[in-house]
Structure 1
């Protein structure tokens, strides 16, 4: 069973998916059928199918066969865009956007805690850990978004205690007007930000929480927002790469941008 032969099987299936021969959720040919069609052994066909399973393209279910994974990712509004709200605002941006895309059960669970700054958070907020005890504290707002009952996206925002302490930002209730509006009410203006987006493989606990199969990475978007040179918050959004694609826009984008971008699928060939 050479690597080249199992790669032939994987390439055959990958091309069939690219041509649209099998749609999301549709059952693929079995090992025996593939083996006969491609003149390989059943064991080689099985290894080839596992390559696509590791890529997250198919799901192999014991006793039932192999099925095409749903690779129709939702557009994640990485920045506010014309015609759509910021994804950081759940009811004004994230929830209606997913419902317009055909998802009906879209819920958010918010949790707030107070903790000392981890080195990573202190670095993002440009804070020297080890100063006055209160200066080391950070207010943490965690937001888990669930779609059709499954965890879809996790977003955590860290605020220095001297900004968020004893303010509405510490309320465990959703912020209807959004973080930006709350900060503005506190006399703080979000003037500019930087984002970094990368991909990494999930830990086992993350894979279990998101219900991810083998080979599916997580997209991680980090954002630090400033007023002048002062960091106001650090937000980290974690999302399965097979369910999300990030939308940025620049210049004077048209009103229909969100509609146009919602029809884009990076898995198309």
Structure 2
């Protein structure tokens, strides 16, 4: 096609942009990212949909695949699309925030849950599929956890580390710490789900939890959390620390790290 007034004509298959477009002075990769973002927001590309390939987008916008790659990387950093691996391509990620509700009655074992804990219960009730990967280790308490559990820094703790998923997408990290002397020779040391949950197990051992101390911290994620949870650039995390107390002493410390763009914390407390 011939240029008109020194300008290149619009390709027939290229998305039209008016002279008043707020994006006309931006680099082309940002224009592509803005167009795709708008399609995602309008649900023209709904959650789970395949994002057009680099080859197709390069042909549509008349640009190099490297430019397209920059646009897709920007959207992946925002958490809108998956990072893309090998030939799997990229898909639109679910952006609905998961509301993690804390109910005192649930945590004390008074409610029946559809799963080993309140997270699994809430996921099932929303029609989501919760899964997790569990690792168990024995570690020194150190000053931070030792202070909360009121044990010496060199006291040995059992830690159950869990990476939790919703519909095969990373949701959050959860670590639970227990004084080894309290849970020795129990299922807490096995890297399997504890059914019905650890709360009645502790109660059966004589350590029924009667109250909690919660701490909520907003911070930026560390590199390990960014990689494991696929957190976008500039997205902070919510760190939730909960210390469970029996009538005599603290018996359990749970540390949960949640990407803030995917989660809300909600508390339901007695009046």
Q: What TM-score comes out, normalization by structure 1 length?
A: 0.63
Distance 1:34 1:228, change over 3 A: farther
1:36-115 paired onto structure 2 within 5 Å: 46-59=69-82, 61=84, 67-80=91-104, 90-91=115-116, 93-104=118-129, 106-108=130-132, 110-115=134-139
Which is greater in Rg?
Answer: 2
Q: Is the 8 A contact 2:158 2:189 kept in 1?
A: no
Q: Identify the match of residue 174 of structure 2 among 132, 147, 155.
A: 155
Alpha-carbon distance, 1:235 to partner: 0.5
Q: Which residue is 1:237 aligned to?
A: 256
SS at match of 1:246: strand
Task: Report how many residues are paired.
Answer: 238
Q: Is the 8 A contact 2:209 2:244 kept in 1?
A: no
Alpha-carbon distance, 1:16 to partner: 3.3
1:249-268 paired onto structure 2 within 5 Å: 249-250=268-269
Q: Deviations over 1:137-164 (max 9, x none)?
A: 22323445455667654422112345x1
Q: Deviations over 1:72-128 (max 9, x none)?
A: 34333344589xx98999435333432333345x44555544332233322433444
Q: Deviations over 1:202-242 (max 9, x none)?
A: 535x56655x3764765532212234794332101245556
* 2:35 aligned with 1:35: no
Q: Is the 8 A contact 1:89 1:176 kept in 2?
A: no
Distance 1:142 1:60, change over 3 A: closer
C-alpha distance in 2, partners of 1:16/1:149? 24
* 2:41 aligned with 1:18: yes
Q: What TM-score comes out, normalization by structure 2 length?
A: 0.63
Q: CA RMSD in A?
A: 4.4
Q: What residue ranges of structure 2 are gaps of 5+ in the alignment?
A: 1-23
SS at match of 2:116: helix
